[in-house]
Structure 1
Amino acid sequence: MAIAYRQQIDDDTEFALWRIKESAEELYKQLQLNEEEKAYTKKLIKSKRYLHWLGTRVLLRKMLRTEEYIDCKVDAHGKPYLVSLPYHISLSHSFDYAAVMISKTSPVGIDIELIKEKVERIAGKFLRPEELSFIAPEHKIQQLYVCWCAKEAVYKCYGQKEVSFSDNITLHPFTFQHHDTLMALLHKDEVNINYEVSYMQYEDYMIGYVKG
Structure 2
Amino acid sequence: MAFYKSISINNNTTAYFWKITEDFNTLFRAVQLKDTSLTRLEKMKSESHQKGFLAVRMLLQHLGYSDFDLYYDENGKPHLRSNNRHTEPVEVSISHSFDFSCICISTDSFVGIDIEIMKTKILRIAPRFMDTKHLENLSELDQIEKATVIWGIKESIFKIKNEQGISFPDHIFEDPFLLSDSRCDAELRFNNKIEKFDIQFYKVEDYIFVAALPKQ
The TM-score normalised by the length of structure 2 is: 0.87
Asked whether the equivalents of residues 24 and 47 of structure 2 are also in contact (C-alpha less than 8 Å), the reply is no
Once structures 1 and 2 are overlaid, which stretch shifts more, 21-30 or 199-208? 21-30
The residue that corresponds to 2:71 in the other structure is 73
- 1:43 aligned residue: 43
| CA distance, structure 2, for counterparts of residue 175 and residue 61 of structure 1 | 37
Any runs of at least 4 consecutive aligned residues in structure 1 with deviations exceeding 6 A, and if so which? Answer: none
- In the aligned structure 1, how far is the partner of 2:206 from the partner of 2:188? 28
| Overall identity of the aligned pairs, in % | 30
Question: How far did residue 46 of structure 1 move?
Answer: 5.6
Paired position in structure 2 for 1:166: 169
Counterparts of 2:24 and 2:82, CA distance in 1: 26
TM superposition shift of 1:154: 1.1
Counterpart Cα distance in 2 of 1:37 and 1:30: 14
Amino acid at match of 2:198: E
CA deviation map 1:14-34 (0-9, x unaligned)? 002211011222222332222
Distance across 2 between alignment mates of 1:113 and 1:45: 20
Pairing partner for 1:92 from 90, 95, 101: 95
Alpha-carbon offset, residue 36 of structure 1: 2.2
Alignment partners' CA distance in 2, 1:46 and 1:163: 28
Query: What displacement does 1:69 show?
Result: 5.8
Counterpart of 1:94, as a letter, is S
TM, length-normalised to structure 1? 0.89
Aligned to 1:206: 208
Aligned CA distance change for structure 1 residues 69 and 41 (closer, same or farther; 3 Å): closer
- Which residue of the partner structure matches residue 105 of structure 1? 108
CA-to-aligned-CA distance 1:42-78 (integer Å, 9 cap, x gap): 222763211111111211221x324x66321222222
CA contact (8 A) 2:60 2:67 kept: no
Query: Number of aligned pairs?
Result: 206
Distance 1:11 1:151 in 2: 24
Cα RMSD of the aligned pairs, angstroms, is 1.9
Aligned partners of 1:115 and 1:7: how far apart in 2? 19
- Does structure 2 retain, via aligned residues, the 8 Å contact 1:77–1:161? no
Distance 1:189 1:82, change over 3 A: same
Correspondence 1:18-57 to 2 at 5 A: 18-44=18-44, 47-57=47-57
1:185–1:192 Cα contact (<8 Å) kept: yes
Structure 2: distance between partners of 1:106 and 1:161: 22
CA positional deviation for 1:92: 0.6
Compared CA separation, residues 33 and 55, structure 1 to 2 (3 A): same
Where does structure 1 lack aligned partners over 5 or more consecutive residues? Answer: none
Partner of 1:197: 199
Query: 1:115–1:206: 8 Å Cα contact kept in structure 2?
Result: yes
Give, in whole Å, the separation in 1 of the partners of 2:178 and 2:36. Answer: 46
- Would you say 1:142 and 2:141 are equivalent positions? no
How much has 1:11 moved relative to structure 2?
Answer: 2.8
Q: Structure 2: state its 5+ residue gaps.
A: 84-88
